[in-house]
Amino acid sequence: MESINTVPIELTVVLGESTMPVNNLLKMGRGAVIELTTLENEEVQVLANNMPIAKGDVVVKGDKIAVSITSKINRDMRKK
């Protein structure tokens, strides 16, 4: 069972989406702001190896940012 601790998993939190032409993206500099389609209090999506596994809320405490899991996505919902 110890070998399961060595399996790499890439976790991604999707805060929102945006569409823009590549030339606009290339013109952006440090500190640029990209407007997302998600509203401030909407749940974020948590992916493991690009597969949706949960939804959660962004939590900010001091200079730390975290995600509080609010619900998990079951296998049946992932296939849709």
| pLDDT recorded at residue 4 | 83
| pLDDT recorded at residue 77 | 59
Dump pLDDT digits (tens) for 16-75: 889 999 999 899 999 999 988 887 788 999 999 999 999 999 988 899 989 999 999 987
- Tell me: pLDDT of 78 over 80: no
Strand pairing category for 44-48 and 11-14: antiparallel
| pLDDT recorded at residue 40 | 75
Domains annotated for the chain, with CATH where assigned, are: 2-78 (2.30.330.10)
**Chain-centre distance of CA 55, in angstroms?**
9
Output the pTM of the full model: 0.70
Element (H, E) at 26: helix 22-27
Token representation of residue 30: 């440090």
- Taking every pair of C-alpha atoms in the chain, what is the biggest distance, in angstroms? 49
